[in-house]
Structure 1
């Protein structure tokens, strides 16, 4: 058998998932690892060209980093790193561990099997400066393009619709906000040039941009039907609450592996306790942010039933919610921008109202980054695309009927309209399982990306190495059954969320339950779980630290050697 470490590995994307995957493969002895990115610097959403003033990390300090490199301390009291601090962290990581392994300025145009063989991959790229095309050949590929690189713009708000209405002002997607600010600076202008700004959307990027503009004395209005839910406190929560398993056990997982979780989610008393705590958390968040019952900011997604949640920590005077409270940001909700007005300087709301707009910023989210680079046949062959669930899969949802905490879900589309994924563990397209030449990192939606990406990278490396200790299904059919069962669970747990999140970061929605999901990956690897320790009483409150996984390579090496010796005995 040829040595897998001699394989050439192409990693598509230089975001956090791509960086830690490349690092892990190199540490494991892979000799030819190359990251491909269209950006001019590493970091993905944290790259130099994508960060902007006011952008903050949506995680408490210490959650989003990698075990080889400590995180810098935040510069303010919010315990939130800024976008620029995250940029610096990613750049330092790349410079320290991945020098020479990243090819910048290459836009990925297509990924496909070579026509003359069923193995390996052709990655067609374009140099963003010269427009020159070339084909890069790899034995294996890891897809790390993420879910925030291909802007989604509704047709009624597109540039074409604006032109047909003779709209006069600039219109751009939130992803272009940094370049627009840079252009103003280069021209010697300031944010007042934008005039009256209307931001469409209620997510975190919309909120961060609105806060930045308001703090620059720009008149800004934000229009949304439903904003992201958020967690806020009057003083920082202790790590034993915010950086432990506390919130994860209050959110049911597809398998309840402890008596405490079974009590909380399968008994009437436990369910009442669970929802009482969540209700108190949300009520406390509204109170901490000074949001009254008549405030439009009350129009938020459900924090228990959804994954559209931001962690604000202690609200800042210059933050979004406080600026709305003091009248420096105008919020129109629930409402939707339906079209551009033919007067050329306004937008029309779905309630018939009109809102003056000199500039429109579309914080309307992103579509899958996979669709532009995989043709239909490759997507089918790999099994990347979602598909309607079969009637048997819809019946599978009854498996969790004993979950009392899920007994009163919000209104949602029928299960038959909420499509299923065929990606095993959120990492391997089931149909491609036995080829061991394609994997995905960064498509599992969690609240602790650093920890999740790093463990996933180890899982992928063991998969590529064909390690005997890695437990995977014996056939694509078995892997497909696992993947579709998980899709059935997601429809049960998060109604309609699969309709909202694009494929690039929703192969698994392990939001608060990321510790349980990571335990499954560690268990696949034959490694220890519940690494934070604690006894029967304290384990939910033990702080989860990156140092728990800093020796995963050595643990895997030791296990590999042990299994080899046992086979030889």
Structure 2
């Protein structure tokens, strides 16, 4: 059986960054990156690059800190959103530059990971070939394992009543490229969903003059918030707005004090005057987006107004990336919006709860993703100790008292969160709709525990922390993917090496009350576990209009999260170099973290 020092599962943004950073710091260690798809890239793998696909981000904000995506090399101009084909090329060149391209094994799906007992730990992986016509299987021992499959790798596509007689293509947006011929052959299509992917699909068809029936569930979360690239009366670049430190202070954030501005944050969220200012900020931001999109200018576009409050929306707050106005396609009638549930399908027809019967040549579903890891962890029951979603048991990972304490702290520090929004009084999970079922064993409606990973990366249990043989990269959603991937990669490498201070990871893990033995003030396991549940519960209260109840999902809290990780590493979090004003008002970007790995290596020779 092959034995490797590190195996990374997944070759997207997070997997490539994790592998590159570990290889950079441990050039003599053996490494493999296992990718189930036929090419690296994750979301930007070749088979997912449907026509017109672009990043939400514009040039300059969507790149690794140590590998600029420059105009000369990649042909993207300032102010342009980055095409999917360019991002695939960029990620491939990143892997080549840092010497990990030859370590990527594509068409290699990990089906099980079995933890090994003993002080050494490690994981035995069962790996199957996904190449066409292949059926080989082998075992690999990974001394350390990073799961970097993310939250958008496996599509969720329900079964609709009557779909056996539907007779026309029915597919998830992930598989849009495989059905790109419908952009030429279809005269009328149906798009189901209100996410950014549904906007993309609607625009792809309607911009070609194809009639689109856009179905958004009346029992769902409604259309997403989607904004022009520049917002607020000052016309600020949205991606930079969310990384401007003084504006992050308006977001109630349980880890926000990692940026050091404790008194400022407590003013904005702990005082009546501060909360009034904060509420005004979110009102201006939300109303500006509503005005810019001119929703109320037409009865059809009015149906696309978000049903949630801007403040309580996370990564589903998206950006318009289209060369022409998608809302004009709605106003002129090429797109018809239906707020209704799908009751069933019949031959070439989609039937809705309002009685409408939509004839169609294809149906595209933006129905979300399976947020569970795409493999089975063994032995049975280890999911609980890992801190990943599992069916609640009689022995929960966190006690009810600990959860209650966390909720009380969150609401005490952020009284505004007591006023939870009511988005849709008729809200119910998709699979509770009369017209849909699933044969899939992974049911998004199943009441599972949320992800409860320390720092959103590692298990919060003493035994697994002691072995330091597994980490999860990319179990979060936000605008800041490359920056998050870079910071998490370095943190995970430091964690594996046992080089994080006792104030971050307790030195003695056999006794939950033991204080770190190399520092006067160290963190206990119990404190670590409480911090984990505190951060996990925060998502429930802060982002009810996002996915905060299932996994970390945030936007304005990304910069303080990076501060938290960089501070854990003992590196400088204030990186503007221009004093307080620059620190507060200048947007952070990838360039501010260039050289971070070298800074770490200079302090900790490995």
Normalised by the length of structure 1, the TM-score is 0.86
Q: SS of the residue aligned with 1:149?
A: coil
Determine helix, strand or coil for the equivalent of 2:587. coil
Moved more, 21-30 or 399-408: 399-408
CA–CA separation in structure 2 for the residues paired with 1:492 and 1:75? 39
* 2:576 pairs with one of 532, 537, 541: 532
Equivalent in the alignment of 2:344: 339
- CA–CA distance in 1 between the matches of 2:148 and 2:229? 34
Secondary structure at the counterpart of residue 601 of structure 2:
helix
Q: Deviations over 1:210-231 (max 9, x none)?
A: 1111122222122113111122
Give 1:440's aligned residue: 472
Deviating runs (4+, > 6 A) in structure 1?
A: 115-118
Whole-Å Cα distance in 1 between the matches of residues 344 and 504 of structure 2?
Answer: 50
Residue deviations 1:268-321, cap 9 Å, x none? Answer: 2222222222222222222222321641111343321121434426x7553533
Offset of 1:106 from its aligned partner? Answer: 1.0
- 1:103 and 1:517 mapped to 2: Cα distance? 31
- Cross-structure match for 1:391: 400
Q: What residue in structure 1 maps to residue 440 of structure 2? A: none
**Partner residue of 2:451 out of 421, 428, 431:** 421
Per the TM alignment, residue 515 of structure 1 is displaced from its structure 2 partner at its CA by 0.8
* 1:229 partnered with 2:225: yes
Distance in 2, Cα, partners of 1:467 & 1:198: 53
Q: Secondary structure at 2:176's aligned position in 1?
A: helix
When residues 63 and 373 of structure 1 are mapped into structure 2, their CA distance, relative to the original with a 3 A threshold, is: farther
Structure 1 residues 91 and 371, CA, compared in 2 at 3 Å: closer, same or farther? closer
Asked if 1:516 is matched to 2:560, the reply is: yes
Partner of 1:3: none
TM-score by length of 2: 0.81
Whole-Å separation in 1 of the counterparts to 2:76 and 2:26: 37
The answer on 1:366 being equivalent to 2:369 is: yes
Quote the offset at 1:246 in angstroms: 4.3
The SS at the match of 1:206 is helix
Distance between the aligned counterparts of 1:94 and 1:62, measured in 2? 19
User: Within the alignment, does 1:167 sit opposite 2:166 as a pair?
Assistant: yes
Q: Secondary structure at the match of 1:52?
A: coil
- Alignment size in residue pairs: 533
What residue in structure 1 maps to residue 93 of structure 2?
92
Structure 2 gap segments, 5+ residues each: 428-446, 510-524
1:16 aligns with 2:13: yes
Aligned ranges 1:103-182 → 2 under 5 Å: 103-114=105-116, 119-129=121-131, 130-155=134-159, 157=160, 161-163=162-164, 166-181=165-180
Secondary structure in 2 matching 1:172: strand
Once the 2 structures are TM-superposed, how far is the Cα of residue 460 of structure 1 from its aligned partner? 0.4
- Cα displacement (A) at 1:433: 1.4
| Distance in structure 2 (CA, Å) of the matches to 1:28 and 1:322 | 52
Q: Determine the C-alpha separation between the residues in 1 that align with 2:272 and 2:40.
A: 49
Distance between the aligned counterparts of 1:467 and 1:199, measured in 2?
Answer: 50
Residues of 2 paired with 1:500 and 1:465: CA distance?
A: 32
1:540 positional shift: 2.6
Question: Is the 1:200–1:222 Cα contact (8 Å) retained in structure 2?
Answer: yes
**Structure 2: how far apart are the matches of 1:263 and 1:534?**
25
Alpha-carbon separation, structure 1, partners of 2:456 and 2:256: 19
The structural deviation recorded for 1:176 is: 0.9
Q: 1:354 aligns with which of 344, 354, 357?
A: 357
Which of 525, 531, 540 is matched with 1:491 structurally?
A: 540
How far is the alpha carbon of 1:26 from its aligned partner?
0.7
Structure 1 residue 517 displacement after superposition:
1.0
Q: Which moved more, 1:535-544 or 1:11-20?
A: 535-544
Rounded Cα–Cα distance in structure 2 between residues aligned with 1:245 and 1:91:
32
Give the deviation of 1:140 after TM superposition. 0.6
CA contact (8 A) 2:201 2:364 kept: no
Structure 2 CA distance for aligned equivalents of residues 287 and 359 of structure 1: 33
Shift in alpha-carbon separation, 1:345–1:273, aligned structure 2, 3 A: same
| CA drift at 1:419 | 4.0
For 2:275 and 2:415, locate their aligned partners in 1 and report how far apart those are by CA, in whole Å. Answer: 6
